[in-house]
Amino acid sequence: MSELVTAPFDLLVIGSGAAGMSVALGLLAQRPTARVGVLSKTDLSEGSTKYAQGGIAAVLDATDSIEAHIRDTLIAGGGLCYEPAVRAVVEGAPAAIRWLIANGVMFDREDGDLHLTREGGHSHRRIVHSADATGLAVQTSLESKLRASGALLFENHNAVDLIREKLPQGRQGRCVGAYALDRRDGRVHRFPARSVLLASGGASKVYLYSSNPDGSTGDGMAMAWRAGCRVANLEFSQFHPTCLYHPRAKSFLVTEAVRGEGGRLLRPDGTRFMDEYDPRGELAPRDIVARAIDDVMKRLGCECVYLDISHRPAEFITHHFPTVHAEALKFGFDMTREPLPVVPAAHYTCGGVMTDLRGHTDVDNLYAVGEVACTGLHGANRMASNSLLECLVIGSAAARDIAEKLDAIPAPPPLAPWDETWVTDSDEEVVVAHNWDELRRFMWDYVGIVRSTKRLERARHRVKLLLNEIGDYYGSFRVTSDLLELRNLAMVADLIIRSALARRESRGLHYTIDYPTLDTVAPPQNTILVPKTFAARREG
């Protein structure tokens, strides 16, 4: 289908999760004749949104307040949240929930009202959910709307790089499209566009153990960096504290709502330990819980800890957590009768491409929304169930901005075809597989939950070697999906390591044994990395 692309898109969306679909649908609602294209690396449904279990935070109860949600988010963010972003997202939450309901998302109700649960870091019950498969409900409903919307959908297309307009004297201008690999025929095609949205998700597959689907390889962050965009706060990688521990479970996530509904974390001997690490116990924010579990495992030499909610009635567990219960049963664990073995795993990238509250990046006509972006909402640590919310609220703002500006954006110039003149097919695919494995292992060992300067420097040395090797390989052979993902992962790994080395304190998700306390002398600062190609300044 991509060979038929001749007319430019008004909006090219790279990614098909909650962020990408909300912007595409939002633009089409305002401009029904807009030409919208959506690139999806695999099937539309295979992004991280589908796997989000917990829910979406919103103030919908009279005993709760906007100010309380803001306060909880600021506390979780460890002093680095951008307060206007927090306020904008929190205030936009009720409207976002109404929009989802209008688009067919069925949230759990109790006596006719939305059922609200509670998760770590929240002072009130404010999490709307669809049992323990909220992301699946959101993805399914929005995908159905998108398929019927008239947008052109390009599944199994892996974005390669963004295209900027060439200006006099070697300068680069606005974003005018992207190259993408059709994974079915192995060809790279041009996708011209007046505006481009990065909604490609995070980079947690840079770690050996992750709760994310295989596509979370930092593609949008790497492409934006190569295109000249700044990135911020990439040292803050969130590790979900409770993923099912089993060799075949592939880090299946056990939703934080299990702890929110009374689940207890236990040592192998059955004793609780979270109260020894934080007065909030199991309801402490994720970074504290993850570090506590990591500490218990290292001190005791155990392979996992246990999460126990079997003291609650069996019907309560199966009603509230049907997905977790059914998945655990596949591996021989009945959570209505026994505790589940759990370990931490990389879960969410809190930093990303710098944007304002309308999704603007440093490059004109290039937007970024969702986990790929850094608006300042999360600061040094994302609070549970604020992520889908950010996709929806910032996505709505980006859609309005694109709709308002569309008529003033000229059509993109003709794009140069992808050049494969000097490349050949690789006869050494093992190189890609080996480098992929090496990268994820040293990132887990040296840039994980607990860090040190020595470990980070060791990782920086290794990633430099990998980047050089991957660069030579990329320049010599035809691109494949695995090679593109490896190239992007290595670039994002380097950015994560550089960011972690720059932060000489422990704050939020970044904990280093060389600087174990907060820097209380200087005011908190964001870690901002600037590419050599950076030439623009954001406004707003």
Task: Tell me how far apart the alpha carbons of residues 86 and 379 are, in angstroms, rounded to a whole number.
Answer: 10
286 is catalytic: yes
Task: Tell me how far apart the alpha carbons of residues 206 and 409 are, in angstroms, rounded to a whole number.
Answer: 36
Task: Tell me how far apart the alpha carbons of residues 171 and 453 are, in angstroms, rounded to a whole number.
Answer: 38
Residue whose C-alpha is closest to residue 194's, from 366, 27, 10: 10
C-beta of residue 2 within 8 angstroms of C-beta of residue 182: yes
- Which residue has tokens 């609200």? 116
Q: Helix 18-30 crosses helix 387-405 at what angle (to 10 degrees)?
A: 30
Per-residue exposure over 216-235, b if at least 16 CB sit within 10 Å of its own CB, e if not: bbbbbbbbbbebbbbbbbbb
Sequence-distant (6+) residues with CB within 8 A of 370 are 15, 17, 18, 19, 20, 199, 201, 387, 390, 391, 394, 395
Q: What are phi and psi of 81, to 5 degrees?
A: -65, 145
Q: What is the DSSP string of 432-472?
A: HHHHHHHHHHHHHHHSSSSB-HHHHHHHHHHHHHHHHHHHH
**Catalytic annotation, pick one of 126, 286, 358, 455:** 286
Q: Which residues are catalytic?
A: 286
